[in-house]
Amino acid sequence: MVGIGADLEPGTLLEAYRSGLFPMPIRGRAIGWWSPDPRGIIPLDALPVSRSLRKACARHEVRVDTAFDEVIDACADPTRPHGWINGAIRDAYRRLHELGWAHSVETWTSEGELVGGLYGVSIGGLFAGESMFHRRTDASKVALVGLVERLRDAGATLLDVQWTTDHLRSLGAVDVARDDYLVLLADAVARTDVHPFTTPPPAP
């Protein structure tokens, strides 16, 4: 943690991501700003897709930005262990979504049921993943596969996952030194011609 306080206005959040920071609440309502060393990323050419995951992808549909509120609400479920997404965080990222900076990638069944997904912030060639959820086996992984394919196709270069966990390592996440991350970040956010989610958002 490198700071405490400030607000969650869109301009504050976007400048934080461009600087390698992200917010997480501490002590209930106070906002802490984090810049881990090492930093977790998923190389876009290193996502392992097992046979079972390929089958899960074939059984589901991946959609983008059709259920952002439902995704962030599912990620914020207070019954989940280590939950940290409070009302202020939800409101802030909903505002970023309305402005075209935050996005959801969703996993749907053929019957139209939302069973998994993730959300994060897209700036140029950076996608900063914030949280993911699943209600069926591999559903969040299906969303991640869809995200990686979209990022690669658009020419994005950096998928930030903040910290590595055993689950994320199983999905190809690796640790990089903070100094190295900041170099990758500067290159990614400078790619203003990269728009993985179609139209570019307005300047903050």
pTM for the complete prediction? 0.94
As a whole number of angstroms, the distance between CA 172 and CA 160 comes to 12
**Does residue 203 have a pLDDT over 90?**
no
CATH number of 39-189: 3.40.630.70
**Does residue 201 have a pLDDT over 80?**
no
Read off the pLDDT band of 26 (50, 70, 90).
confident
How far out from the chain centre does Cα 188 lie? 15
Read off the pLDDT band of 29 (50, 70, 90).
confident
Residue with the two structure tokens 């990022």: 151
Average pLDDT over residues 139-164: 97
Q: If we measure between CA atoms, which residue out of 161, 156, 148, 151 comes closest to residue 187? A: 156
Q: Quick one: pLDDT at residue 28?
A: 63
Q: Quick one: pLDDT at residue 15?
A: 97
Which sign does the torsion angle of CA 198, 107, 79, 82 carry? negative
Q: Quick one: pLDDT at residue 204?
A: 59
DSSP 96: H
Query: What's the mean per-residue pLDDT of the chain?
Result: 93
Residues in a beta bridge with 22 = 34
